[in-house]
Each structure stands twice: as structure tokens, then as C-alpha cells.
Chain A
Amino acid sequence: MDVIRSASRFFDNLIDVPSIDPDDSRRRKLLNIILMGMFLIAIITVILSVIAKVLQFAGAENISGILIASIAGVISCFLVYLINRFWSGTIASVIFLLIFVFIITLADTLHELTNGRSIYLLSIPIIIAGVLLGSKASLAFWGVATLEFIILGYNEINLPAIMSFLWLATIAWLSARSLEHALKDLRNINAELDRRVIQRTHELTESLSRERIETGRRDAILNGIADGVVVFDQSGLAILANPSISNMIDMPLEKIIGSTINELLSSGLKAGGRETLEAQLERSSSSFSNLRIEWEKKTLLINASEVRDDRNQPTGIVAVLRDFTREAELEKMKDSFIAIVSHELRTPLNAILGYAEMFKEGVYGPMNEKQLSVTQRIMMNTQRLLSIVSDLLDQAQIQAGKLKTRMVSCVPAELLENFRGVMEKIVTDKGLPLFTELDPALPLKILGDPQRLHQIMVNLANNAVKFTDKGGITVSLLLVDKSQWCIKVSDTGRGIPSEAQKYIFESFRQVDAASTRQHGGVGLGLSIVKQLVEIMHGRIEVESKYGSGSVFTVTLPLIVNAEAQTQPIPLIEE
């Protein structure tokens, strides 16, 4: 096999002519093939002639001419080959074809050449010329053949042969031309293909390197961030995770990759947390934010969202985990701080208030007018401080989402009575009448949080008292419809400018800074009322015209609890 292969390679090397012009290369290669064939024929002829001469075959006396012609053929083939190989294909082809015509001319009698059996031989150079020298060369060699006819057959010009050759030359010309065109098209297509291959290869290389850069950057970001990131594919298997998550849940990256969500969960999630997470996953399928779970000794915050491809098809879930342990501890500390402050601030304030009251009531003996007035001031300021402390604590609880309402059976008439008990003195101390109204259509007992409802009424009334100097305060409990009831607090105060109505329910806001100094408070009362009302699924509205009083209406869902109407509340064990 190797012999065949190397022989074929040797042959290829022999006939190939490297050239910039592919047409030129092709033609010279073709010429070489023809030359090779003729060279072999000539060599064989030389050998056979020599053998015939040596062995004295019959008729061998005329063989000298053939021998000489064959040797000339070998030599000319070799020379033309050299010219073709190292100089010019065109010159070599012209020389070759002329020699060919010359050999044909010498090969037969004059008559046979112009009118007889050898006439067709002249068609060979005409046809070969089209292939070797370009399509138009066929016509040129038709000219050569015609010239030869004219010169050699001057006495009897063979016009039909000339016309036939012209016809043949035309066909050779046209077919060679179409071959050239076809080859040219093919080359163009090849060139275009090459260009595209190069371009695509270039693009591919670029996108690969871009990808590599992006992957590198993504990895750097993933590895650098403190949050734990894990990506699950559509089937729920982790396909990507960063070192932070590995540290966070104390599991090597190799183990995380390929695990399912459940496998990850079962490794460290505390009892209870798992149910929370599963419930969350069921509820919102795959996207949720700030879900808190207890993981071994840590508190983790999970944010998950669905990953979608550019056609908006879900391809997986990315979960980002944040170590919330420190914050959770702080929150716990804050909660206990609030509880302590709540108790520790209120207790002494209550004591101060109590002692001042006893002074005022003359428990420790009679007091003069000045002493009484000072005692009253102590009481008023303590009261104020107490309500600020309460408001701040309520606000803190609401903001922490800790304030929950406790729905129990409550009696509207009692609500109003308790409210009167607290507010009557405050309102009348300011020289204003307090009117209360209970809608007889309201059920005897409703479901609600009496403490918070009381707070809402007191806060609204306190606000009304603050800004009312004459007229009065009216508080009504009314039935709105089958499913709603309302608390309405009206005053005849100075009213709220319409632009201020937008922000009176915001924390720490008062209509103007001067009113803070004049009326006290930290601007939390209405904000707390609004938040309490919202916790109770109700709404608050204010209607006010500057200069002619305000009406605050708190509308709440009406729940009539049949059980609460009849059954006594059992003794609660502590």
C-alpha cells in the first residue's frame, strides 16, 4: 500500500505545476498528463522499433523513420514538459500543439491529409487547444488548420472540411468556455465558502473567548459575594453554587452540586423550618423573598426566583441565601429591650403619677394653691410621657410586625363607657362637652380587640381635643351596613388644610412644627390609629375643611360571633 501511495504521490508531484492562477495550474497539469501519455507511447515505440531493427523483422528496413520520429517525440515531450513546468504553460501548450500539427502533417500523404483519411486528425489539436490554451484558442487552431489546407491543398481546397472544422472549433470553443465558466463559478463558490468558514471560525473563536471571559467574570462575582447562591435546574437539581453557600450550610460544593432541594433541606434545617419552607414552596411555586429559616445554629434569609430563558420559558430556580444570624440576634435583643423598656419605663411613671395624684388629693395633708398647681403639672407631664412611651412602643411593635390584634367578644356599649371614663375628664377639663352616641342598630356584642378599639377611640379623641378650643367633641359608634360598622370622631376645631390631609397619617408628622410645641406629642397618634385600623382590615378617612372642624371615620368589618354571644369565657390557665 505504501508503495502505491508513494508512487501516486511521486506521479502527482511530477504532473502538478504550482501556480497562483488556478486555471493556469489546471491547464498545465492537463498538458503534463497528455505529455506523459505521449512520452510513454514514444518510449514504447522507440523500444519496439529498436527490437524490430535488432531482430530484423519483415519490413524493418523502413523502421528507421519511425525510430527517429519517436526519439524526436520523446525529446520534444521532455522539452515541452520542462517549459511547461518551469516557464510558461501557454508557450509550452502552443509549442506542443504546433509540434502535434507538424507530426500529423508529416504522418500521411498530402492527399490523405487534405482530402482523405488523416483529415480528422487535425480536429484533435483544435479540440485540445480549447482545453489547454483557453476557449478561443480552438478558433486560432482552426485558423492554423485552414492555413495548412490552403498551403498544402492549393490546387484543390477542401471547403467542406474547412467549414466542418470551423463548426468543430466553435463547439470546442463554446464547450471549453462553458467549462471555464463552470469552473470559475465553482471557484467563486469555493472562495465564498472559504470566506464564510474563516468568518465563522473567527466568530466562534471570538464568542468562545468572550464566553470564557464572561464565565470567568461570573465565577469571580459568584465566588466573591458573601451571599450564598445556588441554582437549581428544571428537574430540581443544583447545577451551580458558590463557596459562600458552601460555608453557610457547611457542605462541600461538590456535594451541593447535583443535590435536590429536598436533599439540601434535610441536611440542616431545624424542625419547623422545613414545613415553613415547603409550605412557601407550595404556595408560591418558586419565587419568594426574605423567607427566614433556622439552619443549625444560624438564621438564614432565602430569596428565590424563577430563571427564565430569552423565550420566557422557565429553566430553573435561583436561590440566594443570606446569613441573618447576627441580625436575628439583634432583633431578639431589640424585642427584649422593648419589653424591658415597656415595663421599666411605665412602672416608675405610673408610680410618679400615683404619688402626684395623692398629693393633689390631699392624702398627705392639705396643699396650698401653688403646690396644687405644680402637682397638676407633674401629673400632666407624666401623663404625656406615658402616652409617648406607649405610642413609641406601639409604633416599634407595628413596624416589627409584632402587633397582633386579639379578636374577642366585645360590647360596643362598654367600649363607649370605658372611653368616656378615660376621656370625659380630659375633654371637660378643656371646657368642652363630650357627646357619645351608640347606634341602636349595632349588635349587642361584636368580635373585636377591645384594647385596640379603645386605643383608636382615645387617640382620635385626644387629637380632636388638642385642636379644638370651642364647640365640642362627638364620638359615635354606628352601623354602616350588614358587614361594616364605624367609629366616627367629630370635632369643631380649626380643621386640617387639604394639603396636610395627605400626610397626617404619617409617623412623626404634624401639620406644622409650631403645633408640636404648642400641642405636644411626637406625631404618632394618627399614624398608629391608621396602622391599627389596617391590621384590623379596616380603613380610616378624614373629612375636614380648614376652619370648620374635622370628622375622622374608621370603618371596620362587622363580625358578629354567635358563640361569643352565649358562652362564658373559660378561665385561662397561666
Chain B
Amino acid sequence: MPELAMIIEDDEDLSEIFGQALTAAHFNVEIVRDGTVAQRRLKELKPDVVILDMHLPNIPGIDLLRQIREDHRLEKTRVVITTADALMGESYRNQADLVLIKPITFTQLRDLTSRLHR
């Protein structure tokens, strides 16, 4: 049974590319494009990897990050933060397993996430 990756990304193209990259990295992929939906889905599912965009409609990425970190059920979940803001990215380094600064290429994400398998 392949591991589950949840991609939380509002941009349609990027979420498609990320989805394909994670599929190529042998994950089952669940794509969420909205903060509130993500909040709900994080309670229903138990993703092994979360690709989290920090700029989301409705709910800021930081709230979702806190939700994941406070949920014992998700204590083994690895979080990959994606942001276009390099400085913000730096400040999240301690809270995330991986911080990627946009633009993120398909091969970059595929190669990096394939190392996240347990």
C-alpha cells in the first residue's frame, strides 16, 4: 500500500504538477485547493506527507501547520512547506521537514519527496 501525500496548493497548474511529481515518487495523491477543505481533510485522513503552500485562500498555511503539529494522530506526518518568500521559508525551517522556495520544478519535487518514504 503506497503512502499518502496530501498536496495543499491553490494554484491549479502547480497542484497538477506537484501531484504528478508525487505520483512519480510513488505516493497516493490527494489534492486540496482550499484552506478550509484542507482543515477538514486533515482530520479525516492520515497523510504521510503534506505539501503545504503557505499562501492559501480562507485559512493561512501557518494555521494548518499548527493543526498538524498539534494532532498526535499526525505526529509521524512529514511536512514540506512551499513558499515564494525565501525569508519566510527560512523562518519555517525548524517547523518543517523540508522547505522549498518557489519556483519548484517537477523533477526537484519528485526527487526530494521520493527520499521521504519510510
Contact = CB atoms under 8 A, between A and B. Distances in A.
A172 B93 CA distance: 124
B86 A451 contact: yes
Interface stretch (B26-34, B38-46, B70-78, B100-108): B100-108
Nearest to B13: A351
Contact of A450 (B13, B90, B105): B90
A361 B24 contact: yes
Contacts of B24: 361, 363
A209 interface: no
A348 B14 CA distance: 9
A353 B95 contact: no
Which of A354, A361, A570 has the most B CB atoms < 10 Å from its CB?
A354
Nearest to A571: B95
Interface in A434-450: 449-450
Contact of A386 (B61, B62, B103, B106): B103
Interface residues of B, number: 29
Contact of B93 (A354, A361, A451, A569): A569
A354 B13 contact: yes
Interface in B73-118: 86-88, 90-95, 101-107, 110
A358 interface: yes
Given A361-B24, A571-B62, A574-B62, A351 B90 contact: no
B105 A357 contact: yes
A59 interface: no
A536 to B, nearest CB: 15
Contact of A350 (B62, B87, B102, B107): B102
B11 interface: yes
A408 B87 contact: yes
B71 to A, nearest CB: 16
Contacts of A571: 62, 91-92, 94-95
A450 B99 CA distance: 14
A63 to B, nearest CB: 139
A434 B89 CA distance: 27
* Majority secondary structure of chain B interface residues (helix, strand, loop or mixed): helix
A288 B91 CA distance: 39
Given A361-B24, A571-B62, A350 B14 contact: yes
B88 A572 contact: yes
Given A347-B11, A350-B14, A351-B13, A357 B91 contact: no
B88 A354 contact: no
A355 B13 contact: yes
Interface string A255-270: 0000000000000000
A167 B91 CA distance: 125
Contacts of A348: 13
A573 interface: yes
Contact of A451 (B14, B17, B87): B87
Interface in B24-71: 24, 54, 60-62
Nearest to B105: A357
A192 to B, nearest CB: 86
Given A353-B103, A361-B24, A363-B24, A574 B14 contact: no
B106 A357 contact: yes
A38 to B, nearest CB: 121
Contacts of B102: 350
Contacts of B101: 451
A354 B90 contact: no
Interface residues of A, number: 26
A350 B103 CA distance: 6
A351 B101 CA distance: 15
Nearest to B23: A363
A412 to B, nearest CB: 15
Contacts of A358: 17, 20, 106
Contacts of A406: 87
Given A358-B20, A363-B24, A572-B88, A353 B94 contact: no
A354 B106 CA distance: 6
A401 interface: no
Contacts of B104: 350
A128 B23 CA distance: 144
Contact of A573 (B62, B90, B92): B62
B105 A569 contact: no
B94 A363 contact: no
A354 B11 contact: no
Nearest to A363: B20
Interface in A542-574: 568-574
Contacts of A450: 86, 90
A451 B99 CA distance: 13
A346 B62 contact: no
Contacts of B105: 353-354, 357
A203 B85 CA distance: 75
Contacts of B13: 347-348, 350-351, 354-355
Nearest to A350: B103
A354 B15 CA distance: 11
Interface of A: 346-348, 350-351, 353-355, 357-358, 361, 363, 386, 406, 408, 410, 449-451, 568-574
19 contacts: A351-B14, A353-B103, A354-B14, A354-B106, A355-B17, A357-B17, A357-B107, A358-B20, A358-B106, A363-B20, A406-B87, A408-B91, A569-B90, A569-B93, A569-B94, A571-B92, A572-B62, A573-B62, A574-B54
Which 9 A-B residue pairs are closest in the complex by CB-CB distance?
A351-B13, A354-B17, A451-B86, A357-B106, A350-B103, A574-B60, A572-B91, A406-B87, A569-B91
